[in-house]
Amino acid sequence: MARTTHGFTLVELMVTLAVLAVLIMVAAPSFNTITLTQRVKTASFDIVANLSYARSEALKQNGNVTITPTDGDWANGWTITGPDGSTLKTGAASQNLTITGPASLVYSRSGRVTSGSGNIDISSSIEDAAVAGRCITLDVTGLPRAKPGSCP
């Protein structure tokens, strides 16, 4: 009676692991690019959401609401301050991002930006040509909009 064996031999297992390791090494740079691209997008969505929040608070509280970058750098985060000087909200940016923008933004009670108008440019601080930046612009009414690419 012949005896049949089931399973993998050690050689088959080692060859499979070697092929898997090569595939992972080839795919790893693509995953890094995807991660950096998503960080840039997420940061732009967070900033747009916080700008919209500040605008709505200025309308709701009928006073000026100020957004200032933490320690003068948007990449460190930002603080939203109400008409009475109280902190309404704080935000934080992801790692490995460069965010440039005005020294502060002030929304008036009409919802328009009265001080610090300008674009906010978001890009990866890791030099990678495949990662596109994003630009946040404020229209005449103070509404923020994010679009792909660098600010003009």
pTM of the model: 0.81
More confident residue, 19 or 118: 19
Rounded mean pLDDT, 44-51: 96
Asked whether residue 26 carries a pLDDT value surpassing 80, the answer given is: yes
pLDDT at 56: 96
Residue closest to 65 by CA, chosen among 111, 22, 97: 111
Domain positions in the chain are 12-148
Asked whether residue 48 carries a pLDDT value surpassing 90, the answer given is: yes
Asked whether residue 41 carries a pLDDT value surpassing 70, the answer given is: yes
Each residue's pLDDT tens digit, 54-113: 999 999 999 999 999 999 999 999 999 999 999 999 999 888 899 999 999 999 999 999
| CATH code of the domain made up of 12-148 | 3.55.40.10
d(CA 140, CA 133) in angstroms, rounded, equals 23
Residue 67, both tokens: 């957004």
* Residues 105/52, Cβ–Cβ less than 8 Å: no
d(CA 39, CA 44) in angstroms, rounded, equals 9
Each residue's pLDDT tens digit, 1-21: 667 778 888 999 999 999 999
Beta bridge partners of 106: 66, 115
